[in-house]
Chains A and B, each alone.
Chain A
Amino acid sequence: MEILTALIVGILFGCGTYLLLKRTLFWIIVGLALYSHGANLLLMQVGLFRGIDPILKAGLKPESYTDPLPQALILTAIVIGFAATAFVLVLAYKIHQNLLTTDMDQLRGEKG
């Protein structure tokens, strides 16, 4: 399972990098989304520890509980990533509307 998640993290970051290097704005945004998913999965992967559910019971060592914190962290990171992706999508829409292109090569070179 650990190897599988590690591979998926690698694939997500790899695909994200590939898409970020494309010229079309839409693919760049998809690449950014893949990056944030990869990071979240990595956060889950490293915090992954299988124990019993984290509800305090008498006579159990602290080590035998699952660590609930990574899930809380990922939730926060997902929400932030979601908001940021929504913002970039709106920005891309505005660029398409005002400048009539989503090609990064044509968006280069600001004036003034």
Chain B
Amino acid sequence: MIQWIELAYPVIIPLGIGILCLIFRTRPALQKALTIVSMASTFIVAIYIFYQVYFKQQILVLNLGNWSPPFGIIFVADLLTATMLIFSALTSLTVGIYALFYIDEGRARHYFFAFYNFLIVGVHGSFLTGDIFNLYVFFEVMLMASYALATLGNEPSQLTESIKYTSINLVASAFFVAGVGVLYGIVGTLNMADISQKVTQAAFLTTTNKGVFMVVAVIFLTVFGIKGGIFPLYFWLPGTYVVPPTAVSAIFGGLLTKVGIYCLLRVFSLIFYRAESVTGTNYLSTIIMVLGGFTMILGVFGAIIQYNFKKILSHHIISQVGYMIFGIGLGTVGAIAGAILHIVHNIVVKTSLFLVAGIHERLTQTNDLKKTGGLANHVPLVATFFLISALALAGVPPLSGFFSKFILIKAGVESFIETRRIYLAIIIVISLITSLLTLLSMIKIWILGFWGESKTPVVPQQTKYRSLIPSIVVFAFVAVLMGVFADFFYNVTLTAAQQLKNPEAHYIKAVLEHQFPR
């Protein structure tokens, strides 16, 4: 049995460097250097893990403290985890470089980079852990860091928005503990692979337990729905993601909601779908799909009426989450592959758009699109990269968004032809309309913000914005790569989806066979 100690690095490196940042509080320059070292080395480790998982075709397991499963905490990297890890490490590195030049001196002195590192600890820990209570703990690490990042700066709008964000997430945390507790009460284990195996055993599927499983499933759907911004629970999101400095908005918008979606995918594919397929009911997946449809269309409606650059982008986060939820709800291999592809595409593109919004804000001193215009004359390079990301978000063919939406909708149509469920057709039509409206609101930003005449004086020569451009270039480049080499990315997500659909042969086998020799 190989103990893959590398799996601990994406958590330990940012944790250690975050603590070092706390120690060197008076030296922001050193903190910045350390953060970049931390993010870059994490990215290298993530590439190594991805290489081992995808090209060597194995699932990596690390038993912390040498306890044999199902006891003790384990870290697992299957292909879904490895894919998420590599993209989140890339994003945190690129946004970290952006933040070096964007974050003001005051925030840098007040532990911005320490909290940034802790946030990444939480995100990577949530991706890696194979223990459901440990998932809760890493979730809390991530949330605590995000509360701090959202409030850092003490601006009035930050305070009013983050009290809502904090309160609603504390409610979600309480429900998360309750859900884990009830689940533990039935199956008596916390290891997700072990739970997954037990929920299909007849001894655990008594009539009472089936009902309790459904309650727990709904609790988890609510908890991850609050975090991920699913239809009735997204109202806190647009406000909260707009008020912090744009570097923070970018990492929140790009990564945090996707952690919620990742957990939903992991927990439902491992536990509740399996319990459900045994009990023979499938209304849970129907509920998730319908919620996905609502999330798409209402999110994009929110974006259409806005004239604030960052608010438009935050509403789009919600509408894009709808696609992922639809894929997860549909649950066929193709649909899950599409959902995973959409998640990684969205991490890249959404972060990139927020970073452009930051440059726009810095040049024009406002986010209100009614007051700006003509940026394409002043900064043609930034405008070009905005256009690439915006078209990728809307799903224009050669770019990344087209392929993920195409795969999702194809899976939806196949499932509709097979089952003839009419709401599937409605959701597919909604998703196409949403796509069109997304393009519309991206064009709105383009016309109002980048075309035409400047309404406010823009002096690019006197504004420090050039150092912010490389981060955008990286993301635009990745978005193009994901379009050009779509077959490679599709193969990765398809393999990941196949692993998720057949956990006995992959996840459960890898975890439970990883016994430590006595």
A residues lining the B interface (CB < 8 Å): 20, 25, 28, 32, 35-36, 38-40, 42-47, 67, 69-70, 73, 76-77, 80-81, 83-85, 87-88, 91-92, 94-95, 98-99, 107-108, 110-112
Q: Known A80-B137, A84-B173, A112-B367; judge A39-B178 contact (CB<8 A).
A: yes
Q: Are B173 and A80 in contact (CB under 8 A)?
A: yes
* Binary contact track B135-148/A, C-beta < 8 Å → 1, others 0: 01100100110011
**Given contact pairs A28-B167, A83-B144, A110-B161, A98 touches B156 in the complex (Cβ within 8 A):** yes
Docked pose: A46 CA to B185 CA in angstroms: 5
A70–B181 CB distance below 8 A: yes
Contact between A32 and B184, CB atoms less than 8 A apart: no
User: B243 interface residue, CB < 8 Å from A?
Assistant: yes
Q: Shortest beta-carbon distance, A103 to chain B, in Å?
A: 11
Cβ–Cβ contact B144 & A84, under 8 A: yes
User: With an 8 A cutoff between CB atoms, is B163 at the interface?
Assistant: yes
**B interface, CB within 8 angstroms of A:** 133, 136-137, 140, 143-144, 147-148, 151, 154, 156-157, 159-163, 166-167, 170-171, 173-175, 177-178, 180-182, 184-185, 188, 190, 239, 242-243, 308, 367
Bound together, the chains give a CA A73 to CA B136 distance in angstroms of: 10
Taking a contact as CB atoms closer than 8 A, the residue among A20, A40, A70, A85 that contacts B171 in the complex is A20
With a cutoff of 8 Å between Cβ atoms, the chain B residues found around residue A35 in the complex are 170-171, 174
Q: Which listed residue, B137, B144, B166, touches A91 by the CB 8 Å rule? A: B166
Enumerate chain A residues within 8 angstroms of B184, measured Cβ to Cβ.
43, 46-47, 69-70, 73
Chain A: minimal CB distance from B281 (Å):
23
Q: Which residues of A contact B178 (CB under 8 A)?
A: 38-39, 42-43
Find chain B residues with CB under 8 A from A91 CB: 147, 151, 159, 162-163, 166
- The CA of A94 and the CA of B147, in the complex, are separated in Å by 14
Q: Is the CB of A42 within 8 A of B163?
A: no
Question: Are B177 and A39 in touch, CB under 8 angstroms?
Answer: yes
Residue among B148, B174, B181 facing the most chain A CB atoms (10 A cut-off): B174
Partner pick for B157 among A40, A80, A83, A110, CB 8 A cutoff: A110
A92 neighbours in B (Cβ, 8 Å): 163
5 pairs, CB–CB < 8 Å, chain A vs chain B: A32-B171, A69-B184, A80-B173, A88-B166, A98-B159
- Chain B residues lying within 8 Å of A80, measured Cβ to Cβ, are 137, 140, 173
Do B159 and A95 touch across chains, with their CB atoms under 8 A apart?
yes
List chain A residues, Cβ under 8 A from B171.
20, 32, 35
> Between A and B, how many residue pairs show CB distances below 8 Å?
111
Contact between chains at A112 and B157 (CB < 8 Å):
yes
Across-interface contacts of B308 in A (CB, < 8 A): 112
B137/A76 in contact, CB under 8 A? yes
A88 touches B181 (CB 8 A): no
A40 surroundings in chain B (CB, below 8 A):
177
Q: Assess the B181–A42 pair: CB atoms within 8 A.
A: yes
Contact B180 A43, beta carbon cutoff 8 Å: yes
In the complex, residue of chain A having the shortest beta-carbon distance to the beta carbon of B186:
A46
User: Complex formed: what's the CA distance from A88 to B174 in Å?
Assistant: 15
How far in angstroms is the closest Cβ of chain A from B410? Answer: 41
CB contacts (< 8 Å) of B143 on chain A: these are 84
* B181 smallest CB distance to A (angstroms): 3
Q: Give the distance to chain A from B25, nearest Cβ to Cβ, in Å.
A: 18
B358 shortest CB reach to chain A, Å: 14
Please, which residue of chain B has its CB at the minimum distance from the CB of A76?
B137
Give the contacting residue for B174; candidates A38, A44, A73; CB below 8 A.
A38
A112 to B246 Cα, complex, angstroms: 13
Min CB–CB distance A78 → chain B (angstroms):
10
Query: Do A110 and B160 form a contact, CB below 8 Å, given A20-B171, A83-B144, A98-B154?
Result: yes
B152 to chain A: closest CB distance in Å?
Answer: 11
Chain B neighbourhood of A69, CB < 8 A: 184, 190
CB closest chain-A residue, reference B308: A112
Given contacts A32-B170, A110-B243, A112-B367, contact A25 B163 (CB under 8 A): yes
Q: Which residue of A lies closest to B177 (CB)?
A: A39
Give the docked Cα–Cα distance between A81 and B175 (Å): 12
Select which of A20, A36, A73, A95 is within 8 A of B173 by beta carbon: A36
| Residue of B whose beta carbon sits closest to that of A95 | B159
Task: List the B side residues contacting A25 at CB < 8 Å.
Answer: 163
A111 to B157, CA, bound (A): 7
User: Which residue of B is nearest A78, CB measured?
Assistant: B177
The residue in chain A whose Cβ has the minimal distance to the Cβ of B183 is A46
A87-B144 in contact (CB<8A): yes
Q: Is the CB of B133 within 8 A of A76?
A: yes
Using A70-B184, A87-B147 as known contacts, list a sample of 14 further A-B pairs with CB atoms less than 8 Å apart, ordered by residue number in A. Answer: A35-B171, A43-B177, A43-B181, A47-B184, A73-B184, A81-B173, A84-B143, A84-B144, A84-B173, A87-B144, A88-B167, A91-B163, A110-B156, A112-B308
Minimum C-beta distance from B150 to chain A (A)? 10
- Residues of chain B within 8 A of A88, CB atoms compared: 163, 166-167, 170
